[in-house]
Chains A and B, each alone.
Chain A
Amino acid sequence: MTTGGPNLARRPDGAALVIALILAVIAGVIIWQTSQMRLPPVQQRVGPTVFPYVIAAGLLALSLGTLVQALRGSFPPREKGDMGPMLWIVAGLLAQIMLLSTAGFAIATGLLFAFTAKGFGRGPLWQTIPIGIVFALLVWFIFARGLQLSLPAGPLERLLP
């Protein structure tokens, strides 16, 4: 995590402006959704809408504060992140999520393992995917068979006795 003194250039910080906008949008969504709520006629002194409005108001104030800091350019400088590795990992998670119900835990999670390793620079995939699948199958066997945890089974898992 990066910490540091204020940006000396004092230019408006684009990313911080976006954060301020996002906070305001979240506050707007909370207010809009809460105003749409059907209130049951049950007697309630402080109803279910009070806290959402309070929190939305707080988010609006924080959005303003962020806006001021963004204009002053007083957000901490950040390291330039490398998107490539991140995309591999996010892709791995997405692949796992989408494959779990059909391919089963071992294949889906094996892909996640291999893609994560790829994100950290270890490959090639044709080597890491089998390693990941064997590892995930072992994990599946311990937790699903040994400890009765419900984990999705696919073709590989059904091969196990």
Chain B
Amino acid sequence: MNKLFVAALLTGALAVPAYAADYTIMAPASPGGGWDQTARTMQEALQAEGISGNVQVTNVPGAGGTIGLAQFVNQSTGNPDALIVGGYVMVGAVLTNMSPVTLADVTPIARLIGEADVIVVPAASELKTMDDLVAKLKADPGSVSWAGGSAGGVDHIAAGLIAKAVGVDPTQINYIAYSGGGEALAAVLGGQVTVGISGVGEFASQIEAGDLRALAVTGDTAVGDIPNLKDAGVDVAVTNWRMVAAAPGITDEQKAAVTADIEKMAMSQTWKTALETKGWTDMYMAGADFDAQLAKDIEATSAILKDVGLVQ
């Protein structure tokens, strides 16, 4: 019977020795997505560095990570072995989806990696610098169509912050949402929209090839010869980061132990090599610094989502 045949084949080829589970990392996204990749890279590094004998990754996708977050809080309270991956997108999703469970309900451990957005125009565009874009935006906000990810996501937030910083009503921006960075990239390359705004990694190879011109990056520092927004004269800084958090209700000692393990992982060679292959920027930050930064990000995001009219 074919099912037995399949079964025999799969077990033969794939059966792996199993150990007692140590950490369980929840990726609140589908297999293959960004959070899933982060979780699986952590799994690899934690095991390879001998920090944890066996790490399991579970996927609970949906609603910008808020479904996974709710399930995590529900099932893992007090469990020092449970971790969840999250990020800036979750901050926005919690607000726009009016999620009853927020990041305040878990124990944030550390920010791990991050990626700034980049603002690009097609190579043939008349817009040469950020100043040109700002001038066009001020003259007629509707005439600048922005292609980026879904409404309320980090790309939309960055566009809204830019409008607000240069004195344009953020509700007037002509933001065109695409379901992924890839589709937005196609729209910019095809000249369908005025500017594109998305993660640096999405556009990097087109910028390098000269098909797209980068006007500015949204992070704190310039990337290569692309200026950051502050240097380009717009007082905005947003970065799309990913973090790891532990379960609510764990003791301070348990929190310290998890933090130590994560720090060991983040400093390891396996982790650094993995970041390099995947093109992720190391943005490790833990402890009180991270708590303060997180609070600041949540506050700023909440304000801008109100300004663009997505949240009441």
A–B direct contact (CB < 8 Å) = yes
Query: Chain A: residues with CB nearer than 8 A to chain B?
Result: 38, 40-43, 138-139, 141-142, 145-148, 150, 160-161
Sample of 15 more A-B contacts, CB < 8 Å, known A41-B309, A42-B310, A150-B59: A40-B171, A42-B151, A42-B175, A42-B309, A43-B172, A138-B7, A142-B7, A142-B10, A145-B15, A145-B18, A146-B10, A146-B16, A148-B57, A160-B18, A161-B18
Collect the chain B residues with CB atoms within 8 Å of residue A139's CB: 7
Instruction: Give the distance in Å from the alpha carbon of A160 to the alpha carbon of B20 in the complex.
Output: 10
The number of residues on chain B lying at the interface, defined by a beta carbon within 8 Å of a beta carbon of chain A, is 23
Asked whether, in the complex, the Cβ of A43 is within 8 Å of the Cβ of B11, the reply is no
Instruction: Give the distance in Å from the alpha carbon of A141 to the alpha carbon of B16 in the complex.
Output: 10
Instruction: Give the distance in Å from the alpha carbon of A41 to the alpha carbon of B15 in the complex.
Output: 55
Asked whether, in the complex, the Cβ of B7 is within 8 Å of the Cβ of A43, the reply is no
A41 with B58: in contact, given A141-B11, A142-B14, A146-B14 (CB under 8 Å)?
Answer: no
Over the window 171-205 of chain B, the binary record of Cβ atoms lying under 8 Å from chain A Cβ atoms (1 yes, 0 no) is: 11111000000000000000000000000000000
Query: Chain B: residues with CB nearer than 8 A to chain A?
Result: 7, 10-11, 14-18, 57-60, 142, 151, 171-175, 308-310, 312
Collect the chain B residues with CB atoms within 8 Å of residue A146's CB: 10-11, 14-16
Collect the chain A residues with CB atoms within 8 Å of residue B11's CB: 141-142, 146
Collect the chain B residues with CB atoms within 8 Å of residue A145's CB: 15-16, 18
| B170 nearest CB neighbor, chain A only | A42
The secondary-structure label for the interface of chain A is loop
Collect the chain A residues with CB atoms within 8 Å of residue B312's CB: 38
Which interface residue of B17, B175, B309, B312 has the most chain A CB atoms within 10 A? B309
- Residue pairs across A and B with Cβ atoms less than 8 A apart, 10 shown, are A40-B171, A40-B308, A40-B310, A41-B309, A42-B151, A42-B308, A43-B142, A43-B171, A145-B16, A161-B17
Collect the chain B residues with CB atoms within 8 Å of residue A138's CB: 7
Collect the chain B residues with CB atoms within 8 Å of residue A160's CB: 18
Contact of B171 among A38, A42, A147, A148 (CB under 8 A): A42
| B24 nearest CB neighbor, chain A only | A150
Asked whether, in the complex, the Cβ of B15 is within 8 Å of the Cβ of A43, the reply is no
Collect the chain A residues with CB atoms within 8 Å of residue B15's CB: 145-146
Collect the chain A residues with CB atoms within 8 Å of residue B7's CB: 138-139, 142
B39 CB → nearest A CB, Å: 11
Collect the chain A residues with CB atoms within 8 Å of residue B57's CB: 148, 150
Collect the chain B residues with CB atoms within 8 Å of residue A41's CB: 171, 309
Closest 6 CB pairs of A and B: A146-B14, A150-B58, A40-B309, A41-B309, A41-B171, A142-B10
Asked whether, in the complex, the Cβ of A43 is within 8 Å of the Cβ of B59, the reply is no
Asked whether, in the complex, the Cβ of B14 is within 8 Å of the Cβ of A147, the reply is yes
A40 CB → nearest B CB, Å: 4
Collect the chain A residues with CB atoms within 8 Å of residue B58's CB: 150
Instruction: Give the distance in Å from the alpha carbon of A42 to the alpha carbon of B311 in the complex.
Output: 11
A16 CB → nearest B CB, Å: 37
| B308 nearest CB neighbor, chain A only | A42
Instruction: Give the distance in Å from the alpha carbon of A117 to the alpha carbon of B69 in the complex.
Output: 37
Instruction: Give the distance in Å from the alpha carbon of A21 to the alpha carbon of B59 in the complex.
Output: 40
| A150 nearest CB neighbor, chain B only | B58
A115 CB → nearest B CB, Å: 19
A39 CB → nearest B CB, Å: 9
Instruction: Give the distance in Å from the alpha carbon of A40 to the alpha carbon of B152 in the complex.
Output: 12
Collect the chain B residues with CB atoms within 8 Å of residue A38's CB: 312
| B57 nearest CB neighbor, chain A only | A148
